[in-house]
Amino acid sequence: MTSTQITPSQRAAVVTGASTGIGQATVRLLAAQGWRVFAVARRADRLQELAAETGAIAVPTDITLDDDVDRLLGIVADAGGVDSLINIAGGARGAERMVDAKTADWDWMYQANVVGTMKMIRAFLPMLREQTDGGTVLNLTSTAGMVSYEGGAGYNAAKAAQRAMTRALRLEEAEHGVRVVEVLPGMVHTEEFSLNRLGSADAASKVYDGVEKPLTSEDVAGIVAYAVTVPHHVNLDEIVVRPLAQAAAHKVIRKQ
């Protein structure tokens, strides 16, 4: 393998969840800023389109599979390594109350949000630790990990677990020169999040009915890019971001 030491002028990142939404927007923004970006997701066709558009390196990967993660690590190391791991992949499935909870949906959410993130971190930490100018792990969690709501128990539980893991990681890695950042978005209108969760375009659109200017993928990507670009001694531990119309998890201003 080639050296995995990143020079100060050559920032490089792995971005998961890159086939859509916030992950895709983050790849676009970092690539435009001159980063070398490894775009990671399961859907190879979407990654290839993104790579052609941005110059990112497409690496189709299922982050919940050990063999896929090991293959990704080898590709990244052979290409020169990275100093930042940006874990965007995740999501929600279902909005049933506990009495109607679907085991398959809960299993998927835990694997996608928690276990997949853990496997990526476990694989890349040795590389991040060896960076002379410091490595960074950024996990995209959610305000759903802070405040629970009816019909959200599975997603609340998965994001709360991902949040707890992130906070433990920060304590463990500070002495190794790895900063750990958590970005917690509230209501973000993306291409697929609510559609995947609720199963229909009509149900997904109702989530945002009457909400003036919900956050966009680009809004959150800008915050992610800022957090990994500031000087390494600056650690933005937790960044909670909501649209103005969402004053709190339980209060959303909707105009008719």
Number of C-beta neighbours around residue 186 at 10 A: 22
Task: Kindly state the tokens that stand for 197.
Answer: 């969760």
Considering the candidates 110, 149, 155, 226, report the single residue annotated as catalytic.
155
Residues pairing with 86 in the sheet: 15, 138
How many C-alpha atoms does 114 have within 13 Å on its Cβ side?
19
| 113: enclosing H helix or E strand | none
Strands 36-41 and 12-16: parallel
Say how far apart CA 154 and CA 16 lie, in whole Å. Answer: 22
Q: Which helix (H) or strand (E) holds 59?
A: strand 57-60
Q: Token match 């982050």: residue? A: 63
Instruction: Measure the CA–CA gap between 192 and 71, rounded to whole angstroms.
Output: 27
For residue 32 the two structure tokens come to: 């435009």
Asked whether 186 and 249 are in contact (CB, 8 A), the reply is yes
Angle of helix 66-78 versus helix 116-129 axis, rounded to 10:
30
Determine the Cα–Cα distance for residues 40 and 148; give it in Å rounded to an integer.
30
155 is catalytic: yes
Q: Give the active site residues.
A: 155
